Chain A
Amino acid sequence: MSQAAGSSDVDTLIDQLYLELRALARSVRRRGGTPDTLHTTALVNELYLKLADAERLRFGEPRQFFSYAAQAMRHLLLDRAKLQMRLKRENPLLRVALTDPDVESITVDPALALELDAALDQLLLRDERAAEVVNLHFFAGLGLSQVAELLDIAPRTAARDWRFASAFLKARLS
């Protein structure tokens, strides 16, 4: 499947991604207090289970690892986007507190992230491989050439998949 399994390049990528995911996931757990919905808790728990799997996979099959990592990142994105929307909607105090640097640093409307999540489900039905390219490129943060290598396809094919997928997704974002 992949020839890159042993290359230290991939190992470095895996390590970085893993650390990043754990840090991102943990930062919300630590904020803790009262997670308002069961859903959020379940989401974070599920994420942890997956990360525990990922830990086992770190030294095994890179493609599997990156798939899990991408899923975890997708969950995180959804979770954080919802958190942002809730913070803005529900807590005027927080909104005041967040006004300057934080709110301004948000350049992409979190609502778009929710739409993206739905569009991805549709893409999966239309073109499975293109959806996998989105997972590895956008969510796992791999370069397109690395994606091609992992999926054992020509770099040109990966690039075309990405072009198709992003056009598909963008067409569905309001």
Chain B
Amino acid sequence: MSDTAPSLRECFDRLVDLSPAQRDAWLAAHALDPALRQELTAMLASDARDVPLLDAPAAALVRQYTPHDDEGHGLVGSRIGPYRLVDVLGHGGTSVVFRAQRASGNGTQTVALKLLRTGLFSADGQRRFRREQGVLAQLSHRHIASLIEGGISDAGIPYIAMEFVDGLPITRYADVHALDLRARIALLVTVCRAIDAAHRALVVHCDLKPSNVLVDGDGDIKVLDFGIARLLGDDAPGATQTSAIALTPGYAAPEQYLPGMVTTASDIYALGILMGELLTGQLLPAGQTRVNLSRAHLFADRPALPGLPSGAALARVLRGDLDAICNTARAPDPQRRYLSAALLADDLERWLRNEPVVARTPSAWYRLRKAMQRHRAAAGAVAFASLALAVGVSLTVWQAHVAGEQAQRATAVRDFLIELFDASRAGQLPDRRPTLEQLVQRASTRLTTHTDLSPATRIEMLRTLGEVSAGASDYAQADALYRQALALANDADDDPALTQIRLLQARLLILQSRYADASRAYEALLPQMRRGNDAASVEGLQNYASALMYSARTDAALAISAEAARRAAALYAPASKGAVHADLTRANQLIGGGRNADAAPLLEAALKTWRESERAPTDDFLQGLTDLSRVRGAQGRNDEAEALLREAVATAEKMYAGPHDRLALALLNLGDVLRLQDRLDEALPFLTRALAMMRTIYGDDHLRVSNTLASLGELELRRRHFDAAAEHVRSAIRWCERPDLHATRSCIEMYAARAGLALATGDLDAADASSARALAMAEELFRDGNRRTARLWQLRAELLLRRNDAPGALALCDRALALLARLGASDGMVTQAVLARRADALQALGRSAEALADAGQALAMWRRLAPAGTLREVELLGAQASIEASLDDAPAARDTARRALALIGDRTRIEPALLARIDALAKSAR
């Protein structure tokens, strides 16, 4: 020990790791200062003590001690979707707005994130939210804060991420900078132009007010919250009605308090009110008593606004033209307001140029009013949009074309829509609204008679209508419209339009399952697709690859697919929607080409990116889930496959309210996975629903209906409902008996199903014919072999066994096993079936010991692939018991047979001969 007295720290460090006895000894040996000793003992005692105070970082305690409030502050720091909430920007009755950030590239992206106070819990509400935010996301304008994305949090709370604008409300900005009258009017003109741009893109604001019109540090105007009122409207059907939307008193137009359609006229009213507040500093009173702008200030005893003259001087400059403009915008009758925000802006600009304003020029006003009366529904385009939504058209189709056009053409299109819709709208009840087919029909008729529209506009409209029809599965209508558009484009020598239409025609062929025709159409377009470095060309190549794949030209398909992937990688940023879509497409085609191992990582990454981005699910996402499930199924990871397919079904049900191709496919796939595991009772409802839905969509004569029928046929066969199975298979196979048939995977499955059925009913010749036909197709399609080939050899082996050709059966099984090993599929449903069949063959040859080994292997494999207690397990156990009996191992045979019996719930489901054999073996004497 040193001579100087040790410090508290020295003593503590020395003692803390010692045992209590050693500590006591040390303390006894050292004469410490009593105070020091006391402190030291207390600390050593505390060292072992757990004190919650110091357990967690101080921040956690601070949060604990910070009283909870409901202004959203409690959520600061938490995550919503990909965003981290940084602080609260403001809150209103229905929502709280946060400043939020997310990692983006190397930096962070700051957004204004609006969180609804209550959730949208109904599937319908969520669907509408997703649909509308998709529409809004396409609204892009320099003076409109863009919607970055919308989503629904895990708790069902919808959020919207918008461009973050650091600015002042327009009224505050004008006052802070003491803007004079002309500068204020000029600001207003910019606002009007922005509103008009949105209206042309079929979006109404619904809640215009100064706090939604910000001016940033550079003097740039940004209109916020476009369409948000509608987006976050109520959670009920018919939400195009204003009644449930929170209105801002003073700014809401009179008609917004009434039930009915929201129109652009309501925004024009709000612009009038905004004009009043910007020029007089107060809200102009609404209602019957009209108050002119120039008299408004008389009602208040407030000081003059900075930059503007006061009292009588202000009244003098406002009186006349500006009064008239403001009154026109604020007219209580929507039909008497400016027809568009652009016309309001035009009038304001006339005032700025000291020209006569339309609002005060009787003749011009008269003409304008007449024009408005002709277009009875002010802003019918928006009304049309609502209708389009109501009948389930994706508005984005219209959007993409309308918004991207020159203003003039957009206006022409809009006017066309107004008239189209106007003729059908007046006074109609919602359930009397025209159907989509009627609307499209009416539109195309008008387009052929409307010669005042430019050819370019008519081409585009016809093409768009064609896309709408194709989207609604009305292929004949789509085809007719594309042909019309093509003829027009030919006359007009419009090459880009020609290419566009031809790509759409080729796509339509795919939709109609005419893959060979589609391949030829795409092949002819190859030079154009290779020249065009754009999304349409990449998509064309992707579709071309699909068409080739479906026409069984695998190598060509993979080559084109690779080219599409290369072009997509050059075109899209990593993790962008386009890139993810390209990966999913590529993976799908790799699977089609049998390259599961290459597809799996692409799929996993793409699906992960998608889920994390909280992008709304689309068909591509569903396809990705299905594809990955297929890979997992092929790998024998059936539980993972099932989970993915259940996700696909749940997602599709959220996406589609009624029958839909994608939902039906998801149901079919899930039913198949369950069926292949012999979970027949679970599979049946999914397959039945899939069939009904497919029939609703496609009628009877379609490949997908046939696929579903074939699957149901196999199911009924397993349930030993032979009549039902035969009926299903017969209906299914019709598709494969057309004269122009070429080999397809589906037909292989169908003929295999028929062969299986024939074997079960003892019609060996029919089984021979069907299996031979399936095998011929498989050999044509898969020159290097495929699991389907192995499965068919297994079927043929059963046939040979039934014809007492056991050596031939054994040889086929050995071939099948070799093929499966080469394909890397030695552990799966097919291998299991082949092993069991091989055991049968060996048993028939009297090689029971070898048979027992194969049977055991088949049983073990089955148990890994499917849950316990299935019919198949009974069959495999029965086979094993028979082999054991022939090996003179009666106890084992009896034991195995009894285990099989214990699994049997419904004895009618077991083949009688098998059941009798098991019964006999179970009862056999010791």
- A interface with B by C-beta (< 8 Å): 19-20, 22-24, 26-28, 30-31, 73-74, 76-77, 80-81, 83-84, 87, 98, 101-102, 105-108, 110, 112-113, 116, 126-127, 130, 138-141, 160, 163-164, 166-171, 173
Contacts and interface: CB of A to CB of B under 8 A. Distances in A.
B87 A80 contact: no
Contacts of B45: 171
Interface stretch (B5-13, B382-390, B444-452, B544-552): B5-13
A101 B67 CA distance: 11
B52 A108 contact: yes
B43 interface: yes
Contacts of A27: 66, 69, 73, 76
15 contacts: A23-B76, A77-B61, A80-B61, A83-B65, A83-B67, A108-B61, A108-B64, A116-B53, A141-B59, A164-B12, A167-B43, A168-B43, A170-B43, A170-B47, A170-B51
B87 A23 contact: yes
B73 A112 contact: no
Contacts of B71: 30
Nearest to A138: B58
Contacts of A112: 53
Contacts of A126: 8-9
B363 interface: no
Contacts of B8: 126
Contacts of B76: 23, 27
Given A107-B52, A107-B64, A141-B57, A160 B87 contact: no
Interface string B64-102: 111111010100110000001011100000000000000
A65 B169 CA distance: 35
Contact of B9 (A102, A107, A127, A173): A127
B69 A167 contact: no
Nearest to B45: A171
Contact of B13 (A101, A108, A164, A173): A164
B42 interface: yes
Interface string B736-766: 0000000000000000000000000000000
Given A167-B43, A171-B45, A24 B12 contact: no
B13 A73 contact: no
B49 A22 contact: no
B426 interface: no
Given A106-B65, A169-B54, A171-B43, A160 B13 contact: yes
B35 interface: no
Residue in B52, B59, B65, B69 whose Cβ sees the most chain A Cβ within 10 Å: B65
A169 B55 CA distance: 13
A110 B65 contact: yes
Given A110-B65, A171-B45, 10 more contacts: A23-B77, A28-B66, A81-B61, A107-B64, A108-B61, A126-B8, A139-B57, A164-B43, A166-B47, A167-B47
Given A27-B66, A27-B76, A173 B53 contact: yes
B352 interface: no
Given A108-B64, A127-B9, A26 B43 contact: no
A98 B65 contact: no
B55 to A, nearest CB: 9
B784 interface: no
B66 A80 contact: yes
Contacts of B534: none
B12 A80 contact: no
Nearest to A28: B66
Residue in A30, A74, A168 whose Cβ sees the most chain B Cβ within 10 Å: A168
A80 to B, nearest CB: 4
Interface in B28-45: 39, 42-45
B62 A77 contact: yes
The 4 A-B pairs at the shortest CB distance, nearest first, are namely: A80-B65, A141-B57, A170-B46, A23-B76
A166 B54 contact: yes
A77 B59 CA distance: 8
Nearest to A168: B43
B67 A24 contact: no
B616 interface: no
Given A30-B73, A107-B52, A113-B53, A102 B58 contact: no
Contact of B63 (A24, A31, A83, A167): A24
Interface string B694-738: 000000000000000000000000000000000000000000000
A31 B54 CA distance: 27
B375 to A, nearest CB: 49
B16 A163 contact: yes
Contacts of B87: 22-23, 26
Residue in B9, B13, B59, B69 whose Cβ sees the most chain A Cβ within 10 Å: B59
A141 to B, nearest CB: 4
Contacts of A105: 64
B47 A20 contact: no
A116 B71 CA distance: 31
B332 to A, nearest CB: 41
Nearest to B50: A170
A105 B49 CA distance: 22
A167 B86 contact: no
B16 A138 contact: no
Contacts of B12: 164, 167
B57 A138 contact: yes
B68 A102 contact: yes
Contacts of B51: 166, 170, 173
A132 to B, nearest CB: 14
Contacts of A24: 59, 62-63, 66
B35 to A, nearest CB: 13
Nearest to B38: A171
Contacts of A76: 58, 62
Nearest to B13: A160
Nearest to A80: B65
A23 B63 CA distance: 10
B52 A73 contact: no
Nearest to B9: A127
A77 B58 contact: yes
Given A26-B87, A171-B45, A113 B68 contact: no
A133 B49 CA distance: 20
Interface in B476-509: none
Nearest to B85: A23
Given A19-B77, A27-B73, A108-B52, A73 B86 contact: no
A81 B58 CA distance: 11
Contacts of A167: 12, 16, 43-44, 46-47
Contacts of A169: 54
Contact of A138 (B9, B46, B54, B63): B54
Given A23-B73, A141-B59, A98 B46 contact: no
Nearest to A170: B46
Contacts of A139: 57-58
A27 B77 CA distance: 12
A27 B84 CA distance: 16
A127 B77 CA distance: 34
B47 A80 contact: no
A101 B64 CA distance: 11
B53 A23 contact: no
Contacts of A23: 73, 76-77, 86-87
